[in-house]
Amino acid sequence: MASRLDTIDLSQSMSREESEKRIVTAQRRLVQLRLFTAGLLEPHQVGPGIVVLFEGMDAAGKGGAIRHLTAGLDPRHVRVVPIAAPNEDELRHHFLWRFQPSLPGLGQMTVYDRSWYGRLLVERVEGLIDNDTAKRSATEIIEFEQAIIDGGVTLVKFWLQISAKEQLRRFKDRETNPLKTWKLTPDDWRNREKRPAYEKAIEYMITNTDQPHARWDLIAAESKPYARATVLETVVSRWVHDLERRNIAVPASRDEDYLD
């Protein structure tokens, strides 16, 4: 059976001009949906919270996609949470424990720059958990996501994919550009050397946690303009679909009213 990663068409691209046009349209709709679910538009009823999580290859453009996603939103209405390795106290608890405080309540929004899926990626590749633990963790993640969805959260999950060749080009650009050197770490180079192991872990993760209630959206990120526009449009589509699934009457788009 073909790998899910191999089905991503990395040749997909978009001009910067077209991307910017589509991004602005999507940003306006996102503002409207945020105001609506926060209870600030008619009928002034607070709706579900929303989680948008980003995973992807190093240098795949997660940060840029997140900046464009949140650019038009009132910062009081969205929380961006960068996820690093668990600290000493967090390691004393179940691996999902540390994500509980940052989950959104009704009418709120959280964006995760990496997420609980580190359990099935870096922790597995680095040998911090064995295969049996990975299998159990995947089941626990599925149940966790079902629980937060049932509790009133819209969940959108992204994997951003780039080729090994494009990743190397971006690494070298960061290495030589003084404005970008902070983005490149020794761990990035070390992870690149383990790319085959990561690809195997990614395939396992996607295959075992892509569920009807929590689908993975696999984004071709070789072209940043294409990836950024596609991410925003996908969030809008997933958000509207989930609200309608909950029998919530979603207002028609009137973007001129919500963004200058």
* Residue spans per domain, the chain: 5-257
Please count the other Cβ atoms lying within 10 Å of the Cβ belonging to residue 234.
Answer: 16
Average pLDDT, the chain: 95
Residue 1: its pLDDT value, please?
A: 62
179/84 Cα distance (integer angstroms) = 22
Render pLDDT for 171-208 as a digit per residue (tens, 0 to 9). Answer: 999 999 998 999 999 989 999 999 999 999 999 999 99
Lowest mean pLDDT among 23-32, 69-78, 113-122: 69-78
Per-residue pLDDT band at 20 (split at 50, 70, 90): very high
CATH 3.40.50.300 fits 5-257, yes or no: yes
Q: Please say if the pLDDT value at position 220 is more than 50.
A: yes
Give residue 173's pLDDT.
93
pTM assigned to the model: 0.94
Quick check: bond before 48 cis, omega within 30? no
Q: Are 14 and 229 in contact (CB under 8 A)?
A: yes
| pLDDT (0 to 100) of residue 258 | 43
pLDDT given at position 76: 84
Residues in the chain: 260
Instruction: Give the contacts of 48 (CB within 8 A, at least 6 positions apart).
Output: 37, 106, 107, 152, 153, 154, 242, 243, 246
Compute φ and ψ for 35, nearest 5 degrees.
-65, -40
pLDDT at 231: 98
Q: Given a cut of 80, is residue 254 above it in pLDDT?
A: no
For range 222-249, the mean pLDDT: 97
